[in-house]
Structure 1
């Protein structure tokens, strides 16, 4: 298998990759800026030289047209002037200029730009060091004025500029790269602190939190989010530990009872022991263990999936009627049933009703009422008993696992305290909510489940 050419790059540190990328971009930008600077500067200096030479040539042409041109031609700024007649012979020059050979031959003069632009001419054959910038202007009577200016100073300036850029640009790039290394390092320092803080958090140091930087940036948001996650994990672990402890406590009682009954039975002679009574006691404790195991498995499944595994239309009115028929009709009364169909698992929702009705019947003085209403896009199931009630401070706590209140509502047949916990988790898995309210006397359990939204364009049959 061919090696990935980018594997080495991906294995480098984030700081190195960011610095190298930033330096590469800076190098391209500085190189382009230097090239543009030299080009613009050279063009500007060339145009300035052409403008001066063209201006002097026009002045000389004007003097020639007026007949006021004298030889030698007097020009004070060092511009070299040659005036040619119609036959191409030199008639007037500035002091020191060549009187025999024109700076531009006839063919080159014909190619001279008409917009005032100039030509480069080598000055060495004329005893002038460096290149010359030459312009040609036409005058009356077929005369031609040639104006030239030395380009050596401009060329030297451009060369100096290029040398400075060649030396200065790498130095500036190194300086900017070093600054980028430092700045990126300082920017990534909070992430390093987060990594160190995460490395210090172990299974026995659950209360630790990651350091939150002072800057209000994305790293602070990340640290805050991670700390919130740690808090949730800590709460979940605490809840799990409490669940294990409570489950062990609940399992200990029936197991101890079974062991005691069996030890007592075995400690008596067979003919003196009531084995049927012992078997009934053991069976009762076994059923208690079975209910506890079933409740724990149900909670484990709800914690794992968070949503019902099977979702089908469930007619709540039909489900409530079938569930209420299992109880004494003199105790459980259906107060009203409005049509309501929700999406969910009929078995799980039936367990919710059974748990609420069992709890209500267990603590009711004489009557339990069940009602179903549909309003505001929700199906509202209400189960009301006329028992001793629950203090307002405990109405939220009773939904915790293995929570049982005082003897007024938690006799020995009250279960392990998982019923309301299963109710809440099941209702939440169906996207609803459950709460308790005062019924004066008694307690009112209110379950709210969302009704399916109607599909646009589909009318009810």
Structure 2
């Protein structure tokens, strides 16, 4: 089957497509050259026009000056039979009948330069005019002026325009030859300058091409000039630095997740291998419970990883009113801890995500408390007292051993557990507080840990909804009595 011909793009689209396929250097040079050519052409045209008018004005002034001198001599009666000039100006003096009575030696004494009607028109307009000098044996055009004198006499003065015409022609020839040469030189200079200007971009492109997916700490070359290319290179290097941080974070996450998965998987494998090797003496219910426990641990780890992945994708939290008081009350009741909750506090967000925040914080506090865990909730007005600046302050306080001040920020990192927590079976994978911080940030809030003397307090601040105002905490507990948890050293914040 014959190949189909390429679609026709039309006569108007081919040049545009051809132009877009050219390099940036070619297009910039061509555009600059076209603008320069137009500018040079207009400049040459204006220059020749201005030069011609200037030279013509000079001749007109000289002719007018000679004519005025002759008129003055004629009016004073001191005009001889022949008129002598030093600048080759042609002068004729005509009487009232049109007969030449005085003239310069270089003109005809019988035939006037201008006829009667032309003289009348020139005297009325008072402007110079061109006339052909060939009938009078003068090559080229003449520039003439007509003035009137006493006794009906007329003075006609003229001068050859050949010199000006030759000067203009010479200037035009020089411009015709020199302008294209100048344009070529300017185009070549533009090509070199643009190429040198784009060279840092080419270096950036080559540097980017050399960066591979496995490269470490690679950066693009930054030009010395503090121009737009320098800003571009700096911005791209900042982006590469952020990508390296994200890549390192992802690799660390994969490594830590693999490490966390190995323990339950190895435990499940060991239990099953032992059970299969000695089936006659195996307590299968006990084996199933052990495998189920490890499976639940894997399930929790998978849920935490999925939650972090969703938060890392930057998906915006749902914006719906959430009764934080009711949500905190249910979390306190579920874990059997004390609640000191101000009524009617409402925030905007996702109830499931905020519930997970409460569950992680309360479960962590219960795991490490000595005897008591208290969930508190209150509202704070902004300093300016405006309607939209209040914050809901959620606290979870326990009386456990606490965390050293230098480790309180580090525990928010993923898979971070303090050394004492690594020996605990219920210490978690170290993702709980990481999920709390990412979720709170997605809701426009903040979270930090502080000393409760004794114990530790987790403080979460979230923007209040417009109607989510509360005055003071409700007295007394809203949930069960204080929970008693294990007395091991805090560390497994998972």
User: What TM-score do the two structures reach when normalised by structure 2?
Assistant: 0.87
Alignment of 1:354-373 (within 5 A): 354-372=359-377, 373=379
Q: 1:459 is matched with which residue?
A: none
Alignment of 1:111-122 (within 5 A): 111-112=121-122, 114=124, 116-122=126-132
Higher deviation after alignment, 386-395 or 245-254: 386-395
For the residues of structure 1 that align with 2:433 and 2:124, how far apart are their CA atoms?
A: 99
Q: 2:418 is matched with which residue?
A: 405
Q: 2:396 is matched with which residue?
A: 383
Structure 1 residues 184 and 380, CA, compared in 2 at 3 Å: closer, same or farther?
Answer: same
The one of 435, 453, 462 equivalent to 1:422 is 435
For the residues of structure 2 that align with 1:403 and 1:127, how far apart are their CA atoms?
A: 111
Q: 2:407 is matched with which residue?
A: 394
For the residues of structure 2 that align with 1:139 and 1:113, how far apart are their CA atoms?
A: 11
Gap runs ≥5 in structure 1: 455-461
For the residues of structure 1 that align with 2:340 and 2:260, how far apart are their CA atoms?
A: 37
Deviations 1:300-327 (A, max 9, x none): 111113421x221122222222222212
Structure 1 residues 421 and 138, CA, compared in 2 at 3 Å: closer, same or farther?
Answer: same
2:260 corresponds to 1:250: yes
CA contact (8 A) 1:292 1:416 kept: yes
The one of 297, 303, 306 equivalent to 1:297 is 306
For the residues of structure 2 that align with 1:257 and 1:323, how far apart are their CA atoms?
A: 32
For the residues of structure 2 that align with 1:178 and 1:219, how far apart are their CA atoms?
A: 23
CA contact (8 A) 2:133 2:140 kept: yes
The one of 310, 318, 323 equivalent to 1:315 is 323
Q: CA deviation at 1:336?
A: 4.2
For the residues of structure 2 that align with 1:238 and 1:153, how far apart are their CA atoms?
A: 83
2:194 corresponds to 1:181: no
CA contact (8 A) 2:123 2:148 kept: no
Q: 1:458 is matched with which residue?
A: none
Gap runs ≥5 in structure 2: 1-6, 383-388, 468-494
2:224 corresponds to 1:214: yes
Q: CA deviation at 1:290?
A: 0.6
Q: CA deviation at 1:113?
A: 7.0
CA contact (8 A) 2:123 2:147 kept: no
Structure 1 residues 451 and 93, CA, compared in 2 at 3 Å: closer, same or farther?
Answer: farther
Structure 1 residues 133 and 242, CA, compared in 2 at 3 Å: closer, same or farther?
Answer: same
For the residues of structure 1 that align with 2:464 and 2:171, how far apart are their CA atoms?
A: 78
Q: CA deviation at 1:410?
A: 6.9
CA contact (8 A) 1:390 1:443 kept: yes
* RCO higher in structure (CA 8 A, sep ≥6): 2
Structure 1 residues 39 and 290, CA, compared in 2 at 3 Å: closer, same or farther?
Answer: same
CA contact (8 A) 1:339 1:374 kept: no
**Superposition RMSD on alpha carbons, in Å?**
1.8
Q: CA deviation at 1:447?
A: 1.7
Corresponding residue SS for 1:326: helix
